[in-house]
Amino acid sequence: MTRLLDLPTLAQLVRNVGPADFLRQLAAQIEADFQRWPAFEKNARLAHHCAQGVIELMPISDGARYSFKFVNGHPGNPAQGLPTVMAFGVLADMATGTPLLLAEATLLTALRTAATSALAARVLARPDSRCMALIGNGAQGEFQALAFHTLLGITQLRLYDPDPQASAKLQRNLAALGLPVHITLAASIDEAIAGADIITTATAAKAHAALFGTAQLTPGQHLNAIGGDCPGKTELPPEVLRAARIFVEYAPQTRIEGEIQQLPAEHPVTELWQVLSGQAPGRQSAADITLFDSVGFALEDHAALCLVQRLAQEWQLGHDIALVPSAGGPKDLFRALR
């Protein structure tokens, strides 16, 4: 049987564990899997584009377990009352091919994106970072705020979104959560990022955007760019990229989809697993401008699905479904029709 975790069940699981503790456990699981990077069979995700957006499949395996995620990205969806991103994931046993888990992954993607961002910032941002500017206050905003407060100790947030209602929504949700951070609603991107220790960009528009240039940056800032995640969709101009030391998840995928799609293929980047495993340096000085060019990688979803499977068993959540034929009469598939 396959364990099913739908959205209400996954949300209940996160509430049971506690959102902050769930993010801590998720970041630890992602870090552990990044540190065993060579064990995974990896490839860039398979994407099918249309005028309205993209649908992607993200597969990966460590030889014992296989996972994939179905995910879309349609920036125009909110005008139709639909989320920009919708996803589900599958975790399977490699030895038999049996699907072990079918899980909601829209909420899970938001959580793993935030956990990965904060995990990267722990080795790339200055240790004394306390102020973060958050440019783009849509569906990812609350998760980024919670993760950076929980894992890095961020106590000041400066919010900017061209839609004031998005910033107001984010402020309300953080207040309801009781997150002890001071929130400033900035009137412009320049006001939000001026002197901020960390700048997170999480915009949704499919365009080659230039949210800010090098003139607005301060030595020592860490840039967490998570909005650019497909060909033709970026947030930062090439001048900012060239001014930063760049870190990525999986270079073959990021060179297609990330900010660095704007740079020559030979431009040097460092993969995050190399830093987490001690094979490459992260931040080297207080004056470094570091950039985590994050597009989302299947290993992070694999880690998230493995964690969710374990926690669901501990909390006895979800239910089994007959997604595939059960044991008994394996050569008689027709019996399912009788």
DSSP bridge partners of 157: 132, 183
In the block, tokens 């456990």 appear at: 25
Angle, in degrees to the nearest 10, between helices 19-34 and 7-17:
100
Q: What six digits make up the tokens of 325?
A: 């034929």
DSSP bridge partners of 182: 156
- For the chain, how many residues are written? 338
- C-alpha distances in angstroms, 42 versus 34, 51, 68, 308? 12, 28, 11, 21
Residue 321 Ramachandran class (φ > 0 left, ψ -120 to 50 alpha, else beta): beta
Active site residue 163: no
What span, in angstroms and rounded, lies between the C-alpha atoms of 107 and 104? 7
In the block, tokens 């860490």 appear at: 222
What span, in angstroms and rounded, lies between the C-alpha atoms of 54 and 212? 26
Q: Please pick, among 62, 161, 229, 293, the residue that the annotation labels catalytic.
A: 229
- Cα torsion angle, 316, 322, 324, 329, sign: positive
What span, in angstroms and rounded, lies between the C-alpha atoms of 244 and 186? 25
Could you give the residue numbers annotated as active site?
229
